[in-house]
Structure 1
Amino acid sequence: MTKVTLYRAPTTEANADDIADWLRDRITGEVAVSDRFLDVHRNDALPEQFADSRVLSPYERETGNTMLGIVRYEERALDSPEREGGVLYDGVAVQRALNAAIPEAERTLDHLHVVLLDRAIGTWGDHDARWHKRVNLLGQPAIVSVPGLYEAPAKPEQYYKEKQKTALLSGDTPPREVLENEVEGEFLVESDPRTTEALKGYVLQAVHCWRTGEGFCDDECRLSNPHRQPGVIEAQLRDPAFCEDHAELYD
């Protein structure tokens, strides 16, 4: 690999420039930062492709609603990403669409594109016949979902109870500080100031897989992919950053 291009997600807390600086200290080759992927590589097919990749039900494999109103919604979401939200997309289908949007000359084995995405993505689990939200999806381009950082790894059960109780009483989601005080255990929530730091490891996972062909690390490490929020905190925000094997490569 000679180049990594990291795309910004301007409507989120993620700081692509900070992530790129951290990455430059750990890998060889060029690390470039570009504006939002869906602006730089937008094409006329993307609104319908996003509409077609919408997850309709947590327990139905079939996806997609390409009625005119839904496609128009996706067009508006491309124009004004701050208006998008509350939709889960088939990550594999989105990845295919974004791959096709990359100019052929830039779609090479020595150039990895990593998209910080402001949308929630998921993959279908054949083992339990349901959709699962994901933080990242490795490949070309690699997708790192910023909402996925907060939504995919499970929070403590008490978190969901407190959130639901407050929403029923006030009609609004409680602030992060309230939930942190009311719920035992650590977790990340929307617009968390720790977002950029936590995402560094998920971006590196994409680069590591592209360079070596290896998947996620089984140890507590920046290259691991925990299914619960406390594991994310330990892997991405605590020392040591890497297990012994990966410390030789990246620490």
Structure 2
Amino acid sequence: MIDRITLYRAPTAEADVDTIAGWLRERTDHEVDVRDRFLDVHRHDGLAERFAEARVLDPYDRETGNSMLGVVRYEERALENPERAGGVLYDGVELQRALNDALPDGERDLSHLHVAVLDRAIGTWGDHDGRWHKRVNVLGQPALVSVPGLYEAPAKPEAYYQEKQRHALLSGDAPPREVLENEVEGEFLIADDPRTTEALKGYVLQALDYVETGEPFCEDERCRLYNAHRQPELIEAQLREPEFCARHAERYEV
């Protein structure tokens, strides 16, 4: 049984973890506290190597990791200066193991759930199709919630990718947010979206619900505990009323 939940800030991301913690306090009886960035609070000397080992090298190759000195040095710099990290996908399960090892011995028990909000992209391997899939969260201890995953994991409308490619061919760079929002029909979140904090609330709650009930997600697309595979589904589940299906409203609605 969970007694305490600790959330960790992601200072380089558009995510107000303190606001998420306040929302969680209103919906649970647990003690909820907030700490600074997980990778600062629980840093240890071998963490850069563990990040290097968790790197996804090929979207269609199950094997991960690059322990070359230059890669480890990159990970060391990224730990010190998180604003310099980016463009790398990590095995979320392997990363979770590394961060679990970084927790103090007295805090690994599931009575104290840790939820690390990260500015890194994480994924899991799909045995069904033989490739890596980006994820918003990886449930367990600690639970990982990826802010980049919120924008990148659920699929956007096809027109988004076509417009992005067209703009890149013409200008050699990604189009500004305003171009995508004005020229692509459909609803989706993109990097630094002002709706980020609101959308992340449900993904943090999924971490708590999983540890308490053993049920990973809800099947109702209108519930915050639903695992959205497309951006319109994410918008529906996280940003529109009702917040919860009837079953989870009984548990979590204020």
TM-score normalised to structure 2 length: 0.98
**How far off its partner does 1:141 sit?**
0.1
| Alpha-carbon separation, structure 2, partners of 1:109 and 1:95 | 14
1:1-251 map, 5 Å: 1-220=2-221, 221-251=223-253
RMSD: 0.6
Q: Name the SS for the 1:25 alignment partner.
A: helix
Contact 2:110–2:141 under 8 Å retained in 1: no
Q: Larger deviation: 170-179 or 197-206?
A: 170-179
**How far off its partner does 1:177 sit?**
2.1
**How far off its partner does 1:5 sit?**
0.2
Q: Amino acid of the residue matched to residue 110 of structure 1?
A: S
| Alpha-carbon separation, structure 2, partners of 1:239 and 1:45 | 44
**How far off its partner does 1:170 sit?**
1.6
**How far off its partner does 1:179 sit?**
0.6
Q: Name the SS for the 1:70 alignment partner.
A: helix
| Alpha-carbon separation, structure 2, partners of 1:190 and 1:169 | 21
How many residues matched?
251
Q: Name the SS for the 1:128 alignment partner.
A: coil
The sequence identity of aligned pairs, in percent, is 74
Q: Deviations over 1:142-163 (max 9, x none)?
A: 0000000000000000000101
**How far off its partner does 1:176 sit?**
1.8
Q: Which segments of 5 or more consecutive residues in structure 1 lack a partner in the other structure?
A: none
Q: Name the SS for the 2:123 alignment partner.
A: strand
Contact 2:4–2:113 under 8 Å retained in 1: yes
Q: Name the SS for the 1:149 alignment partner.
A: helix
**How far off its partner does 1:210 sit?**
1.1
| Alpha-carbon separation, structure 2, partners of 1:185 and 1:6 | 32
**How far off its partner does 1:190 sit?**
0.3
**Moved runs in structure 1, 4+ residues, more than 3 A?**
none
Q: Amino acid of the residue matched to residue 104 of structure 1?
A: D
**How far off its partner does 1:48 sit?**
0.4
Q: Amino acid of the residue matched to residue 80 of structure 2?
A: D
Q: Larger deviation: 165-174 or 10-19?
A: 165-174
Q: Deviations over 1:48-99 (max 9, x none)?
A: 0000110010000010000000000000000000000000000000000000
Q: Amino acid of the residue matched to residue 239 of structure 1?
A: E
| Alpha-carbon separation, structure 1, partners of 2:38 and 2:68 | 25
Q: Which segments of 5 or more consecutive residues in structure 2 lack a partner in the other structure?
A: none
| Alpha-carbon separation, structure 1, partners of 2:15 and 2:172 | 27
**How far off its partner does 1:172 sit?**
2.1
**How far off its partner does 1:175 sit?**
2.0
**How far off its partner does 1:171 sit?**
2.1
Q: Name the SS for the 1:116 alignment partner.
A: strand
Q: Larger deviation: 161-170 or 125-134?
A: 161-170
| Alpha-carbon separation, structure 2, partners of 1:89 and 1:215 | 21
Q: Amino acid of the residue matched to residue 20 of structure 1?
A: A
| Alpha-carbon separation, structure 1, partners of 2:122 and 2:216 | 19
